[in-house]
A and B are shown apart, each in its own frame.
Chain A
């Protein structure tokens, strides 16, 4: 029953920060029907004296949900306050925000985004007050279906009563929830089963939560269902069993990220191979230490995959294209990859039509799952992409079933757009403005590799007229710094280019180190392009502050202590060859025996310990690495429910 305590504690806090002014009156219609039991919980809370006193535990709502943040003084994320050093600037969130307001995403846009969001967000908040954890745990989107059960049932009843031809008309209009539902009895049964399962789960959850009240609601709901659909009784039973199998305590365990596939686990690798699309080449003399990681798939698979294009019917062309881009390495960079993936999914969703006898929610989820596993085959996902996929899946799961297919698709597409816009584009803008306050005249800024956020920061600071110099540090085999260097020089920034080994030499003159990140883990470890750790270490040794610039959607609740447990392997052959250096050809012609002894390791990422990091600049402000778990914990739910 401690689960109950947790679920109550969280809503109380939320309620204070956001809900009091307008929530109860404007609950949207469909939700209200279901809101009975949770409401029995929440009103005493909102009425409680805690509503107006800002308790230290209070977590203010995420800022993007209410962009008119200037009015709210307590808008600074709590973690920021913990950081004594950066207190002042963290506190100066509002100025930055106002700058943001003046700038390109015009206030009108934000405004109308907000107004259109108004219902949506309050709905979101409302749901969070409900036992959101329960809801998120049902893959079929169980809980949220329950409110909608009534209209559905009605339509079902209508369908039964109406003559078949009218049925067809209704389907054409798509006026009721799902087109497929009214068509055949099988589909109908399925839909009913679906809704019943959801209701079951919901009532189960509520029963767990608040014993008596929910029990009564259950008793109210149950008979109506049974009455409507006697033939589905057996399936109800099965669904009930599934529901029983998930006690509420386990819901919290869902927060623990599932274990990743370990590639030294032969049985699972075998299974994966059978499923896989690509040719699984046996990794040539793989390194023992990295057996657990998937071997690199190089571009030589491209023709093979291209030839299979017409066999892979289930892969949408857009997804297919993105996959090939991953495979060949044409598309790199966390944000670019994530945006490309989301846009491909968006396109796939636009072209999607629910096959007969299937429901959109389940079929689309499995479809997306298929896309994702295809993309994983092309290149392992970054953690930020995992977050984005989780977001998308939860959006699909939470689609109200009353929506018609086209509405649902439009909702999903706009969700994806919103995610890209808010979590990546706007977040970058905020980060840029934050970080620019840390750049002073005469600074020498060092960056490693090529991070798009850092590049934006540098260009923005340059536009502001700050006088500074940039040191671009680069390393093999990616040599991403060259491209960054070219872009910066073209914009007129004064740059120094060097390689990673010279970092100790160049660090003497550096005053700030700005680094990007692929992901930030909840123990403060920064998971980033290999070499970042070395740069941060040397900077730490020379007492140069290290600023990590990273969007909050890349934060992940995993933890990692070294760079070996999880990583990504690059193309080993890229190590042996040094392009542009004809004199370095020592490894060109080795005998077979020599090749057996020689192993080439091309790691893509490494984990920077949090000791080396002075500050993380993210869209919620500037925080110390110790505050990462706070951000992860408090804002994870939010982006699942945007």
Chain B
């Protein structure tokens, strides 16, 4: 599979060079890449899910290492792994259900599910989620007897069942891959539509004559505000420009083009203006499991000002931004320093950057971080594509999307095959 390898390398390069902007684009491209990886993976007859997981992990590990700060990559890798596991479980249960006569279920889940009608993979996944099954999938996979390959009706249709044992195996493997790819397609679809789903909720949060403040630019925020505007709500928006990238200018331009009353302010004026603001609505870079937010730089200041003036601080985040990790020292470890040229013109200050003077250390340092960490206590509300949530609930929401086995995306050396 040289073409996959080329794709992966290409994407890795882009990640390393920070060529991909925004977590949504990154998430989408990651999902597409993993889809092609899965489709190219040749699955063995036994333990197909394990093989898929291994190949996804192998790629995922490299992707995450390429840009550890872009948490969306890791999120998507984990989600794909989770999808593989879910699909596998659903197929297994379907097979079990098809068996039905041999009640060889050594797993109590399977016994539970024996009497249920066989549903789509998603339904099974939901069911497994609802029962909070301990995620010991590996053992489950190994315990499943291969003899469970008995002709069964396919839930999603399309696959015709084979007559012989081998034909059945191949069809099952094809079916697993097929299902996984279907599910990844759904994931990509979700990522594409998360803006609309979040924006749908806008009217519930923005009322007439509201004054809203935002910093920098976020497509989610733009869609959110425009959705409220389309519903004939009239409100004003203060946009802080968001140095050093000044994306706020872009957002202001977009908002103005759609007929919203917009005032562009400097970042320094945020504190002055926030006393007249009803709500702060911002986008996020990533949402951590504790409810903390990795956000564009400057938002911690805005959040503190909002808290001082008791202004609700609302964070919009698509589900691909939910990260299952708990942050440790996120200001430093999950941050990235950008080029000083955004702050200082090198030509202007080149004489100050003389390393030779004094003790060899330069007198002038320039710090230009990319992200801010907003602790959960400063966030009033998260609006995701599944609705509004408290910061304290994020850990649970995240548990729906990820399997606990995948929190560390590293191939275990023992389980390699």
Asked if A477 and B266 sit within 8 Å, CB to CB, the answer is yes
A518 to B223, CA, bound (A): 41
List residues 258-272 of chain B with CB under 8 A from any CB of chain A: 259-272
A564 to B304, CA, bound (A): 19
A404 to B304, CA, bound (A): 61
Using Cβ atoms and an 8 Å threshold, which residues of chain A touch B259? 597
B291 proximal to A (CB < 8 A) = no
Asked if A530 and B272 sit within 8 Å, CB to CB, the answer is yes
Using Cβ atoms and an 8 Å threshold, which residues of chain A touch B365? 494-497
Known: A475-B243, A594-B253, A606-B272. A500 touches B304 (CB 8 A): no
Chain B interface size band reads: 35 or more
Q: Tell me the dominant secondary structure on chain B's binding face.
A: mixed
A410 proximal to B (CB < 8 A) = no
Asked if B364 and A495 sit within 8 Å, CB to CB, the answer is yes
Known: A497-B367, A534-B268, A594-B253. A508 touches B331 (CB 8 A): yes
How far in angstroms is the closest Cβ of chain A from B356?
14
Asked if B268 and A287 sit within 8 Å, CB to CB, the answer is no
Name the residue in B238, B297, B332, B348 with the highest tally of chain A Cβ atoms < 10 Å from its Cβ: B297
Known: A482-B344, A486-B349, A586-B250. A575 touches B275 (CB 8 A): no
Partner of A564, one of B263, B276, B297, B363: B276
A54 proximal to B (CB < 8 A) = no
B366 proximal to A (CB < 8 A) = yes
Name the residue in B238, B300, B345 with the highest tally of chain A Cβ atoms < 10 Å from its Cβ: B300
Known: A501-B301, A537-B308. A600 touches B264 (CB 8 A): yes
How far in angstroms is the closest Cβ of chain B from A420?
30
Using Cβ atoms and an 8 Å threshold, which residues of chain A touch B273? 563-564, 601, 603
Partner of B263, one of A287, A529, A562: A287
How far in angstroms is the closest Cβ of chain B from A493?
7
Using Cβ atoms and an 8 Å threshold, which residues of chain A touch B235? none
B358 proximal to A (CB < 8 A) = yes
A379 to B198, CA, bound (A): 46
Using Cβ atoms and an 8 Å threshold, which residues of chain A touch B20? none
Partner of A567, one of B272, B297, B298, B342: B272
B257 proximal to A (CB < 8 A) = yes
Chain A interface size band reads: 35 or more
A599 proximal to B (CB < 8 A) = yes
B312 proximal to A (CB < 8 A) = no
Closest to B331 in A: A505
Asked if B301 and A534 sit within 8 Å, CB to CB, the answer is yes
B7 proximal to A (CB < 8 A) = no
B335 proximal to A (CB < 8 A) = yes
A503 proximal to B (CB < 8 A) = yes
Name the residue in B244, B268, B308 with the highest tally of chain A Cβ atoms < 10 Å from its Cβ: B268
Closest to A604 in B: B269
A590 proximal to B (CB < 8 A) = yes
B385 proximal to A (CB < 8 A) = no
Asked if B252 and A587 sit within 8 Å, CB to CB, the answer is yes
B179 proximal to A (CB < 8 A) = no
B278 proximal to A (CB < 8 A) = no
Known: A475-B267, A575-B264, A597-B262. A501 touches B298 (CB 8 A): yes
Asked if A597 and B260 sit within 8 Å, CB to CB, the answer is yes
Using Cβ atoms and an 8 Å threshold, which residues of chain B touch A584? 245-246, 249
Asked if B298 and A494 sit within 8 Å, CB to CB, the answer is no
Partner of A601, one of B263, B267, B345, B361: B263
Known: A496-B365, A562-B275. A601 touches B265 (CB 8 A): yes
Asked if A498 and B367 sit within 8 Å, CB to CB, the answer is yes
A595 to B256, CA, bound (A): 8
Using Cβ atoms and an 8 Å threshold, which residues of chain B touch A476? 241, 243, 266-268
Using Cβ atoms and an 8 Å threshold, which residues of chain A touch B249? 576, 578, 584, 586-587
Known: A489-B363, A587-B253, A599-B262. A538 touches B272 (CB 8 A): no
List residues 581-614 of chain A with CB under 8 A from any CB of chain B: 581, 584, 586-587, 590, 594-595, 597-603, 606-607
Render B365-405 as a binary contact track against A, CB cut-off 8 A, 1 for contact.
11111001100000000000000000000000000000000
Asked if A580 and B345 sit within 8 Å, CB to CB, the answer is yes
Asked if A503 and B301 sit within 8 Å, CB to CB, the answer is yes
A256 proximal to B (CB < 8 A) = no
Partner of B363, one of A493, A498, A595, A602: A493
A551 to B27, CA, bound (A): 55
Known: A530-B266, A530-B268, A603-B269. A575 touches B344 (CB 8 A): no
Known: A475-B268, A576-B249. A537 touches B372 (CB 8 A): no
A140 proximal to B (CB < 8 A) = no
Asked if B257 and A599 sit within 8 Å, CB to CB, the answer is no
Name the residue in B250, B269, B368 with the highest tally of chain A Cβ atoms < 10 Å from its Cβ: B269
A590 to B261, CA, bound (A): 14
A486 to B276, CA, bound (A): 37
Using Cβ atoms and an 8 Å threshold, which residues of chain B touch A567? 272
Using Cβ atoms and an 8 Å threshold, which residues of chain B touch A606? 268-269, 271-272
Known: A475-B268, A562-B275. A489 touches B256 (CB 8 A): no
How far in angstroms is the closest Cβ of chain A from B330?
11
A581 to B341, CA, bound (A): 10
Using Cβ atoms and an 8 Å threshold, which residues of chain B touch A496? 364-367
Closest to B371 in A: A505
How far in angstroms is the closest Cβ of chain B from A266?
23
Closest to B343 in A: A499
Asked if A602 and B266 sit within 8 Å, CB to CB, the answer is yes
A474 to B250, CA, bound (A): 22
A88 proximal to B (CB < 8 A) = no
Using Cβ atoms and an 8 Å threshold, which residues of chain B touch A578? 246, 249
Name 17 A/B residue pairs within 8 A (Cβ), A-sorted: A476-B267, A489-B364, A495-B364, A500-B298, A504-B372, A530-B272, A534-B301, A563-B275, A564-B276, A575-B241, A576-B249, A586-B250, A587-B249, A598-B252, A598-B256, A602-B269, A607-B272
Q: Contact residues of B with A, CB < 8 Å? A: 238, 241-246, 249-250, 252-253, 255-257, 259-273, 275-276, 297-298, 300-301, 304-305, 308, 331-332, 335, 342-345, 348-349, 352, 358, 361, 363-369, 372-373
Besides the known contacts A475-B266, A499-B267, A563-B275, 4 further A-B residue pairs in the complex with CB atoms under 8 A apart: A485-B352, A575-B264, A600-B263, A601-B263
